[in-house]
Homo-oligomer: A and B are copies of this chain.
């Protein structure tokens, strides 16, 4: 039985209206997440702590893992609000990792591409250290309000801590540093690139999609399918814009991942999957 997503995705996208609707769907999610984060991190005393926290949260480039969390929640029939704290926490985890990745340490011989540092290394280190627990606090506190969904949120805390921790993003970052110190980016082999993309973007997107499905009340099968969908979408993101960006000949890999990603959405056939499906179009991977 052919699924909507198995057909070339452009079938859904040829109508300009649909394409613009899809685009505005992601834009509206991003705006909602940004508004939620702005409310959560007002610049308040101690200003020396909250001002850099606010700045660094919004200075980190957006990743779509957070938006995917919301989209997955809505796809399984949940409300946007149910996934908002988790989506925000995911962005905060990413912002902390991004900040620490660009810290000038005494043993970082080949620094990442220079970024603008608004604060001193010490402040950036400590702010990153503050952002991680803050994100998880946001998430844990979101239970108190709702009451009913404690178990789902607890599961999501485990999902997120695992995805960003020592077997997830941190492992990917470590591998990335090892590789970039021993050889130029052009000479990375495909295995290294895949490993890093899987642990970093792949893991975060997979986590985002799974968390959204959990919070939206999806079935276990839906959670696992969306997790895999997220994994592939994140790996595409990493290959196109992350560690794979300077490697030649990634098109074949990316095409393969697109096929795998869309296949995971088959079980949702009949539901409105155009929006979430649009992520596997390269152009929308970074909204």
Of the candidate stretches A25-33, A156-164, A222-230, the one touching chain B is A156-164
Chain B, residue nearest A49 (CB): B166
Q: Is A123 an interface residue (CB 8 A)?
A: yes
B129 and A132 contacting across the interface, CB-CB below 8 Å: yes
Number of copies: 2
Q: Is A177 an interface residue (CB 8 A)?
A: yes
Chain B, residue nearest A178 (CB): B48
B105 and A171 contacting across the interface, CB-CB below 8 Å: no
Residues of B within 8 A of A178 (CB): 48
Chain B, residue nearest A162 (CB): B137
Known: A128-B129, A151-B150, A158-B141. A166 touches B105 (CB 8 A): no
B173 and A158 contacting across the interface, CB-CB below 8 Å: no
Residues of B within 8 A of A150 (CB): 150-151, 154
B49 and A171 contacting across the interface, CB-CB below 8 Å: yes
Q: Is A61 an interface residue (CB 8 A)?
A: no
Residues of B within 8 A of A93 (CB): 133
A166's contact among B107, B134, B170, by CB below 8 Å, is which?
Answer: B134
A158 and B137 contacting across the interface, CB-CB below 8 Å: yes
Chain A residues at the B interface, C-beta cutoff of 8 Å? 46, 48-50, 53, 93, 96-97, 100, 103-108, 120-123, 125-134, 136-137, 140-141, 143-144, 150-151, 153-154, 157-158, 160-162, 164-167, 170-171, 173-174, 177-178
A161 and B136 contacting across the interface, CB-CB below 8 Å: yes
B105 and A174 contacting across the interface, CB-CB below 8 Å: no
Known: A130-B165, A150-B150, A166-B49. A122 touches B108 (CB 8 A): yes
Residues of B within 8 A of A144 (CB): 154, 158
B121 and A166 contacting across the interface, CB-CB below 8 Å: no
Report Cα–Cα, A97/B125, bound state, in Å.
Answer: 11
A130 and B166 contacting across the interface, CB-CB below 8 Å: yes
Report Cα–Cα, A130/B169, bound state, in Å.
Answer: 9
Residues of B within 8 A of A126 (CB): 100, 170, 173-174, 177
B170 and A130 contacting across the interface, CB-CB below 8 Å: yes
Residues of B within 8 A of A161 (CB): 133-134, 136-137, 140
A157's contact among B49, B96, B103, B136, by CB below 8 Å, is which?
Answer: B136
A158's contact among B48, B140, B162, by CB below 8 Å, is which?
Answer: B140
A125 and B103 contacting across the interface, CB-CB below 8 Å: yes
